[in-house]
Amino acid sequence: MKSIVFGLQWGDEGKGKVTTYLSRKYDYVVRYSGGSNAGHTVEYGDFKLVHHLVPSFDVRTDTIGYISNGVVVDLEVLNKEVEELKRLGFDVSKRIKVSNLAHVVLPVHKMLDEKFEMAKGDKAVGTTKRGIGPAYADKVHRIGLRLVDFEDKQNALEKLKFISELYKNLYSIDWTDYDKVFEEYEKIRSFVVSPIEIRKELQNSNVLFEGTQGVMLDIDMGSYPYVTGTYCNTTGVEPGLGYPMNIDKRIGVFKAYLTRVGEGPFPTELFGEDAEKLRKAGKEYGATTGRPRRCGWLDLPLLKYAIEISDCTEMIMTKADVLSCMDKILVGVRYTLCGKKIELPTNLEMLSKVEVEFIEFEGWKDLNDVNFKKFVEFLEKETGRKITYISTGANVEDIVKM
């Protein structure tokens, strides 16, 4: 069985918890894109983990995590996560593998990320400043440093010096602490494998692929330019691995309402007291940045768009319990632009100009309430997809099969 768990919105849908819960049925959990800008929070009850680079497998099981070459790896962040797991009593050093073709996020990437955001002024996209975009850009510029380069220390040192010199000349960024990079690499050296070595293992195993962010932040199909630097869609699996992989299930995760972090259009956004009420009830603050998330009602046109382009086969709803704080629940069902009604957007750059038509649902006290059941039935009918699980709380065990 090969499945993907991915976000159907602007990220923060609860993919980490869902992936962890489902991982028990799989041999591998594979991160196929993104970097340490991801923040997948998992509440185990006795402890909590925030996965930035370590794949979201249940640390109490024997599942193996693989970081593919589609991921850009911040060595320091990865080491901190592994050390935190060890401190909690989970030595996962034998259960993490990293492709030697993965690119490394360097300090200069973080410096440039911040510099670009400042230079953009009111056109800044609100990145996490974790250096993800610049690292992917260097990959395309063909000047990036890969884990495989460390097999020849002199070669790696020459590449680091070359990158440093380029950044100094092009961006006036001065950095020469190469020793720190080598120190961090040595700590994860035992994790590094060739993607060729692991290919047969993955093909002959049950694999759960873990997406980062959400479809609406995909570099190609998202709400560009307010997107991340990589492929968040299901289409990112094969380029992330570097070879073909047949997928059986595409499991899209979505919140019963909508949030986003950073800049960009948000047609169903709430403001004032209602926004703050929802933010507090849902604890809507970024796991990576701590920034308060923008909150709004569920946007059906965007959900349908994400389902269409991802070829989503089933859905999992999260945070429906949070909406029990609201007396009335709204859902945006279609857009109007220049007098024309739109149910499935084809030009996401027009999102800031649309007007939204809403329908209203009576609130619910709990998930057994008939009003909630009407809400679920409506979404399944409108999207044509079955909601197979519903998350009922923050804990990894708080999930109900439908």
In 3D space, the residue among 339, 340, 317, 338 whose CA is nearest the CA of residue 387 turns out to be 317
Counting Cα atoms < 13 Å in the Cβ hemisphere of 108 gives 28
For residues 98 and 100, give the distance between their C-alpha atoms in angstroms, rounded to a whole number. 6
Query: How many Å apart are CA 372 and CA 378, to the nearest integer?
Result: 10
Q: What Å distances lie between residue 203 and 69, 200, 206, 299, 312, CA to CA?
A: 16, 5, 8, 37, 21
Using only C-alpha atoms, what is the Rg of the chain? 21
Q: Residues 227, 218: contact at Cβ < 8 Å?
A: yes
Alpha-carbon gap, residue 54 to 30, rounded angstroms: 9
C-alpha distances (whole Å) from 228 to each of 74, 127, 244, 308 are 16, 8, 24, 20
Cα–Cα distances (Å) from 83 to 78, 191, 371, 400, in that order, read 9, 14, 45, 32
Euclidean distance between CA atoms 143 and 357, whole angstroms: 48
Catalytic residue among 27, 40, 299, 321: 40
CA 257 – CA 24 distance, rounded (Å): 28
Burial class (CB in 10 A: 0-12, 13-18, 19+), 398: middle
Catalytic residue among 12, 138, 218, 321: 12
Report yes or no: 242 and 195 within 8 Å, Cβ to Cβ.
Answer: yes
40 included as an active-site residue: yes
- For residues 145 and 158, what is the distance between their CA atoms, to the nearest angstrom? 10
State the number of CA atoms in the 13 A half-sphere of 349 facing the CB. 3
Q: Which residues are catalytic?
A: 12, 40
